[in-house]
């Protein structure tokens, strides 16, 4: 009897990788290109790819990793399409999906990595760490008897050790200031919720503020809870802050719009090559806040689902849009889970605002680099500082319900422009932030002054507390000890920001309660003193109300 054939791991894995590629190719060909010609083209391409990959695997002079070659080839292929079609390998796919999930399983701490050492910034209320008695400022020495310091410790390493299946146990050894010996804790991991509504509070007796940082699984529910709470406090005006919000789930965005617009009106529609992915989304429910005036803050970091919200509210004259031109992402991606755990996010359609405008900014197929430099170019051309520098395409004019001219083809242009304030931004400040100098001192300050801070309500703290010159001197000394070279001129420019940021962080760590659904109200209330967009927006509610009344008074919402 002949000896059986024995294959090494690469030989066994190669057909598997190729079958995954073929399965994805046939699926995409049949689904998106249609007809036998598309399938034939895909099969021909697969045959060529298979030949090349097998030749490399069998004959190339050095050992190669075929997994990496396949991933690389897919990534480079997709670069020939649009800037938002993307491939994630199995590891990155898990991380990408987790960003839009409403929580994770872990021990429940906010941490800071400083000089190869992990410090607890704060235990999350209701989490395993808080229940066990872990405190702000604790230094993590070991996790499951593995040393937790050194050059190997980065964010990925920390997540891999602290996160894990719900109910699993982890042993933590920490060193606490004032305690001579390390302390050991046996923790049982649990579900730790994450939040997308970062702030929700009353600015005055009638005006509520809601900050939405992304559109994740729980965003719509969080938004409804925030609006409901503010209405019970007397809210008649809403400031919705979408600055820096990169988007997320489209349906969470359209559901949010439905809470603000009455009647049966278009929110967004999509159009692509395949009619199966064409959708029209309209308002259908009696919303929670259909009558009060609304102002929406956006900037160059507001993208995708954020632009759907801003575009719908602007087109129906329901809200006054304030800030700077948004990012300009009007392409819809469908996630396709591949059999090895990787994920393809394929652009299948464009979305359009109610007036018919696509807000997707121009791009050249295959030129991802130029596309990614768009924000930098806006900065250098002065658009972030001067309203007249915004260059809208005059051929892409559309009209709102009230007949106002709005533009497509390059994001949402605000109704009221607010320039970016960089007067206090300096390289010295960026170095302080890069090494967490101010945040670290805030944690230490709260720990050392806990009793004094407990005597103050946050309202009193907000009115009366100011970091002292001695506090500022300690920050400078800590920065110098961390090899940040002092620059007197830059420090003077940044000093008001450093002082306000320190107050905001102390307020956060001293007063923030995570049982308020993850709200960072204290931080935002302090920082609003230096927020020019915020300060401008709160003066514009009369204009927003007038705009909304004008639209409603027009028959059928049109001129």
- What is the per-residue pLDDT for 84? 87
- What is the per-residue pLDDT for 7? 39
Angstrom CA distances, 101 to 107, 123, 238, 268, 396, stand at: 17, 20, 27, 24, 36
**207 and 308 share one domain:** yes
At 312-332, the pLDDT tens digits run 999 999 999 999 999 999 998
Q: Residue 511: inside a domain, yes or no? A: yes
- What is the per-residue pLDDT for 287? 95
Q: Is the pLDDT of residue 340 over 90?
A: no
Q: Residue 549: inside a domain, yes or no? A: no
**272 and 203 share one domain:** yes
Q: Is the pLDDT of residue 465 over 80?
A: yes
Q: Rank 34-48, 108-122, 355-369, 452-466 by mean pLDDT and report only the highest.
A: 452-466
Q: Residue 92: inside a domain, yes or no? A: no
Which CATH number characterizes residue 107's domain?
Answer: 2.30.42.10
Q: Is the pLDDT of residue 33 over 50?
A: no
**257 and 406 share one domain:** yes
The model's confidence at residue 1, banded by pLDDT at 50, 70 and 90, is very low
Q: Residue 554: inside a domain, yes or no? A: no
**244 and 319 share one domain:** yes
- What is the per-residue pLDDT for 64? 87
Q: Residue 97: inside a domain, yes or no? A: no
Looking at 192, 220, 251, the residue that finishes a domain is: 192
Q: Is the pLDDT of residue 266 over 90?
A: yes
Distance, in Å, from the CA atom of 491 to the CA atom of 8, rounded to the nearest integer, reads 61
**383 and 257 share one domain:** yes
Looking at 192, 223, 243, the residue that finishes a domain is: 192
At 141-176, the pLDDT tens digits run 999 999 988 888 887 788 888 888 889 999 999 888
**109 and 238 share one domain:** no
Task: Report the pLDDT averaged over residues 265-277.
Answer: 90
- What is the per-residue pLDDT for 335? 87
**251 and 115 share one domain:** no
**25 and 110 share one domain:** no
**130 and 60 share one domain:** no
Distance, in Å, from the CA atom of 552 to the CA atom of 256, rounded to the nearest integer, reads 20
Q: Residue 90: inside a domain, yes or no? A: no
Q: Residue 326: inside a domain, yes or no? A: yes
Q: How many folded domains does the chain comprise?
A: 4
Q: Residue 146: inside a domain, yes or no? A: yes
Q: Answer yes or no: are the C-beta atoms of 317 and 398 closer than 8 Å.
A: no
- What is the per-residue pLDDT for 108? 83
- What is the per-residue pLDDT for 11? 36
- What is the per-residue pLDDT for 38? 57
Q: DSSP H helical segments within 29-165, as ranges?
A: 35-59, 66-78, 90-98, 128-132, 155-162
Which CATH number characterizes residue 264's domain?
Answer: 3.90.226.10
At 118-134, the pLDDT tens digits run 888 777 766 788 778 78
Residue 324 belongs to what domain range? 197-336+346-417
At 169-217, the pLDDT tens digits run 999 998 887 788 888 888 999 887 778 899 999 999 999 999 999 998 8
**381 and 280 share one domain:** yes
Q: How many CA atoms lie within 13 A of 514 on its CB side?
A: 15
Looking at 161, 192, 223, the residue that finishes a domain is: 192
Judge if pTM exceeds 0.85.
no
**47 and 123 share one domain:** no
**180 and 74 share one domain:** no
């Amino acid at each position: 009897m002949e000896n059986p054939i024995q294959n090494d791991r690469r030989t066994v894995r190669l057909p598997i990788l190729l079958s995954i590629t073929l399965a994805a190719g046939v699926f995409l060909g049949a689904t998106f290109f249609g007809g036998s010609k598309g399938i034939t083209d895909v099969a021909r391409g697969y045959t060529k790819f298979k030949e090349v990959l097998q030749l490399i695997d069998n004959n190339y002079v050095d050992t190669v990793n075929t997994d990496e070659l396949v991933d690389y080839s897919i990534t480079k292929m997709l670069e020939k399409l649009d800037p938002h079609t993307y491939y994630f390998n199995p590891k990155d796919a898990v991380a990408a999906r987790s960003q839009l999930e409403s929580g994770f399983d872990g021990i429940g701490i906010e941490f800071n990595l400083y000089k190869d050492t992990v410090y607890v910034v704060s235990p999350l209320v209701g989490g395993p760490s808080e229940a066990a008695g872990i405190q702000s400022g604790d230094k993590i020495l070991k996790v499951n008897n593995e040393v937790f310091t050194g050059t190997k410790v980065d964010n990925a390493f920390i997540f891999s050790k602290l996160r894990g299946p719900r109910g699993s146990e982890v042993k933590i050894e920490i060193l606490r200031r004032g305690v001579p010996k390390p302390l050991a804790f046996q923790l049982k991991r649990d579900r730790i919720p994450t939040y997308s509504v970062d702030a929700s509070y009353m600015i005055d007796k009638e005006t509520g503020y809601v900050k939405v940082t992304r559109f994740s699984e729980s965003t719509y529910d969080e938004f409804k809870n925030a609006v409901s709470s503010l209405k019970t406090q007397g809210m008649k005006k809403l400031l919705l802050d979408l600055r820096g919000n990169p988007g997320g789930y489209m349906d969470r965005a359209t559901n949010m719009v439905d809470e603000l617009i009455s009647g049966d009106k278009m929110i967004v529609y999509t159009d692509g090559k395949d009619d199966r992915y064409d959708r029209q989304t309209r308002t259908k429910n009696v919303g929670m806040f259909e009558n009060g005036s609304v102002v929406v803050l956006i900037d160059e970091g507001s993208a995708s689902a954020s632009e759907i919200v801003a575009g719908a509210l602007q087109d129906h004259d329901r809200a006054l849009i304030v800030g700077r031109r948004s990012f300009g992402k009007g392409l819809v991606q469908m996630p396709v889970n591949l059999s090895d755990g990787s994920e393809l996010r394929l652009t299948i359609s464009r979305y359009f605002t109610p007036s018919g405008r696509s807000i997707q900014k121009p791009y050249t197929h295959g030129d991802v680099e130029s596309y990614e430099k768009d924000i930098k170019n806006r900065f250098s051309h002065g658009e972030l500082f001067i309203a007249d520098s915004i260059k809208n395409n005059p051929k892409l004019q559309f009209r709102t319900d009230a007949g106002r001219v709005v533009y497509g083809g390059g994001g949402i242009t605000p109704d009221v422009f607010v320039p970016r304030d960089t007067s206090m931004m300096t390289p010295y400040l960026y170095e302080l932030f890069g090494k967490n100098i101010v945040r670290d001192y805030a944690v230490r300050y709260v720990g050392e002054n806990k009793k004094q801070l407990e005597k103050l309500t946050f309202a009193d703290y907000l009115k009366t507390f100011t970091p002292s010159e001695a506090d500022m001197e300690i920050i400078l000394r800590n920065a110098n000890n961390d090899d940040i070279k002092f620059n007197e001129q830059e420090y003077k420019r940044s000093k008001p920001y450093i002082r306000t940021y320190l107050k905001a962080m102390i307020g956060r760590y001293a007063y923030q309660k995570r049982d308020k659904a993850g709200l960072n109200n204290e931080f935002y209330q302090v920082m609003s003193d230096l927020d020019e967009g915020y300060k401008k927006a709160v003066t514009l509610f009369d204009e927003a109300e007038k705009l909304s009344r004008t639209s409603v008074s027009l028959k059928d919402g049109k001129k």
